[in-house]
Amino acid sequence: MTNSKAFGSALAKVRKEQGFTSAHQFFKSVGGSKSLGLAFMSYWDMERGKKLPKSWRLKAIMAALGIDQYSPKAQELVRAYFRALSGSDELLQTLSGPVSSGADLPSRELAEAAAHQALSHLSVHLTLEQWKLRTRDIVTHICQNYLANTAGWVTVKELAEAAKFKPEAVKKAFKALAAGGLVDLSGDKARGKFAGKVIQVLPSTPATASIKAALRNNWNTWLADSRIVALKRSTVRMTKANLNMYRQHLEKAVNLAAVYGNSEENRQESAIYFIDASIFKVLPKD
């Protein structure tokens, strides 16, 4: 296997681990050439080991995959990339120390690593069209979230009572979600297709900017009438490097919430919670 093919294999592996079952699904889901700045065949040639991307384009691809630039997956891709450029691992080994074995990790870190590995197999990605559908209106947005977090069939009456919506509005949302391939529909009942799965966040690209803005508006509308059950805030001065390190820990903590989730929980004894871990730069003002 040539070095370029080794990089292509690493790219395809990470893409699958991120929940994109095919190269074409990934390309379309993140906005295609408008977001990545290249044609599908150019990206496909990278996965097949026929070409290497420019360094700046690799960074854009990792961002579209939803990979933090300091994460192990990013390091795996960058190592494969520089290995392809230099032809060996010699220089990379000079810059990095020996990798610690899993047995040297604290038990808590091993448990978290195992949890993240399990969650990676449950990850799914929506298409750009499906994300747009979620911005149709607040009723559709909430119905989709309810169904994605609830196993089995849900009646119009149940969801209307839970969200305090008119049944007619819920019926229309069910039909729209079914047409968009997000739910199954049977009479006055709907069943989410992704219950028990982890829907990955929509990547931040030029093609998704307007969708993400509309989703934020929906969330703000929804949360305005929601009850806060836990809140912890802090202000701290830190460097950008330390902020990036902390963000990784925070993202892991938020993602681990899925470990505690169970779409099959008794609906009378459970509730749906929204977890928001935001970091604001407050001073100095930009």
- Of residues 156 and 16, more confidence is placed in 156
- Of residues 266 and 187, more confidence is placed in 187
Residue 95 CA, chain-centre distance (Å), reads 31
SS3 at position 275: coil
**Integer Cα distance of 139 and 160 in angstroms:** 10
Q: Which of 105-114, 187-196, 201-210, 253-262 has the lowest mean pLDDT?
A: 105-114
The predicted-structure confidence for 1-14, as pLDDT tens digits, reads as follows 457 888 999 999 99
Residue 126 Rama label (left phi>0; alpha psi -120 to 50; beta): beta
- Of residues 88 and 136, more confidence is placed in 136
Q: Which of 81-90, 201-210, 260-269 has the lowest mean pLDDT?
A: 81-90
* Residue 232 and residue 223 in contact, taking contact as beta carbons nearer than 8 Å: no
Structure tokens at 266: 């008794």
Is pLDDT at 169 greater than 90 in this prediction? yes
Supply the pLDDT for residue 112.
54
Write down the H helix ranges in the chain.
3-17, 23-29, 33-36, 40-47, 55-65, 72-86, 90-95, 107-120, 128-134, 138-148, 156-163, 167-179, 209-224, 240-255, 257-260
- Of residues 204 and 165, more confidence is placed in 165
The segment with the largest mean pLDDT, out of 158-167, 203-212, 248-257, is: 158-167
Residue 9 CA, chain-centre distance (Å), reads 21
**Integer Cα distance of 202 and 30 in angstroms:** 8
Location of structure tokens 């979600």: 177
CA angle 278, 281, 286 (to 5 degrees): 140
In the chain, residues under CATH classification 1.10.260.40 are 3-94
Identify the H or E element spanning 198: strand 198-199
* Residue 146 and residue 159 in contact, taking contact as beta carbons nearer than 8 Å: yes
Sheet holding 189-192, edge to edge: 154-155, 189-192, 183-186
Is pLDDT at 22 greater than 80 in this prediction? yes
Peptide bond just before 284 cis, omega within 30 deg: yes
Measured CA to CA in angstroms, residue 187 lies from 155, 156, 164, 175 at distances of 9, 9, 21, 10
**Integer Cα distance of 272 and 154 in angstroms:** 14
Supply the pLDDT for residue 69.
72
The predicted-structure confidence for 105-153, as pLDDT tens digits, reads as follows 455 555 555 555 555 556 788 888 999 999 999 999 999 999 999 999 9
Q: What percent of the chain has pLDDT over 70?
A: 86
Q: Which of 76-85, 155-164, 176-185 has the lowest mean pLDDT?
A: 76-85
**Integer Cα distance of 53 and 61 in angstroms:** 9
Q: What SS3 string covers 108-140?
A: HHHHHHHHHHHHHCCEECCCHHHHHHHCCCHHH
Is pLDDT at 64 greater than 90 in this prediction? no
- Mean pLDDT over each residue of the chain, to the nearest integer: 83
Is pLDDT at 87 greater than 80 in this prediction? no
What's the mean pLDDT in 85-89?
67
Structure tokens at 249: 């820990």
What's the mean pLDDT in 249-257?
80
What's the mean pLDDT in 22-48?
89
Supply the pLDDT for residue 255.
76
Buried residues in 228-248 as b, exposed as e (16+ CB within 10 A): eeeeeeeeeeeeeeeeeeeee
Q: Would you say domain 3-94 falls under CATH 3.30.413.10?
A: no
Is pLDDT at 100 greater than 80 in this prediction? no
Q: What percent of the chain has pLDDT over 90?
A: 34
Supply the pLDDT for residue 92.
55
- Of residues 19 and 215, more confidence is placed in 215
What's the mean pLDDT in 78-84?
84
SS3 at position 189: strand
Q: Which of 83-97, 192-206, 250-264 has the lowest mean pLDDT?
A: 83-97
Supply the pLDDT for residue 2.
56
